[in-house]
Amino acid sequence: MLPLRPAALVTLLRAAGSGGGLRRHPAGVWHVSSAPPQPVIAAKEPFPVELKAGKKYAWCGCGHSKSQPFCDGTHKKAAPGISPVRFTAEKDTTAWLCGCKRTRSPPYCDGTHKGEAVQSARLPTQP
């Protein structure tokens, strides 16, 4: 494979769009991925939070926020292409918000974290 010149890299990055990106293979070969970005697992269990009726919230969808389970804007650099889920609480309640970022009903926990894929995963803060 021929090495890419800077102009060719820019062309590849533009072609990849926001759903993919330029990735470096361990062997040193660059390739474009069209796969959507995947969130990191922030926690292996849900976060119990007190929601207030009428208040707007932004649930972190990327897993990089330091304010879990809520968004702190980190996705803009750490995970472009993954946006927070914005919602307004309908009533004062305790809600269980997803920490593994794999729920099928965001922002709420659906029990996906109990599966082997999440429980065996290494958290970003673990060595």
Tell me, yes or no, if the pTM score tops 0.85. Answer: no
20, part of any domain:
yes
Answer whether residue 41 is part of any domain. no
The per-residue DSSP string of 31-63 comes to: EEE-SPP-PPP--SSPEEEEE-TT-EEEE-SSS
pLDDT band at residue 51, thresholds of 50, 70 and 90? Answer: very high
Report the distance separating Cα 114 and Cα 104, nearest Å.
Answer: 13
Rounded-to-integer distance, Cα 86 and Cα 57, Å: 6
pLDDT tens digits, one per residue of 75-126: 999 999 999 999 999 999 999 999 999 999 999 999 999 999 999 999 986 5
Residue 25: give the domain boundaries.
1-36
Do 29 and 51 belong together in one domain? no
Number of domains the chain is built from: 2
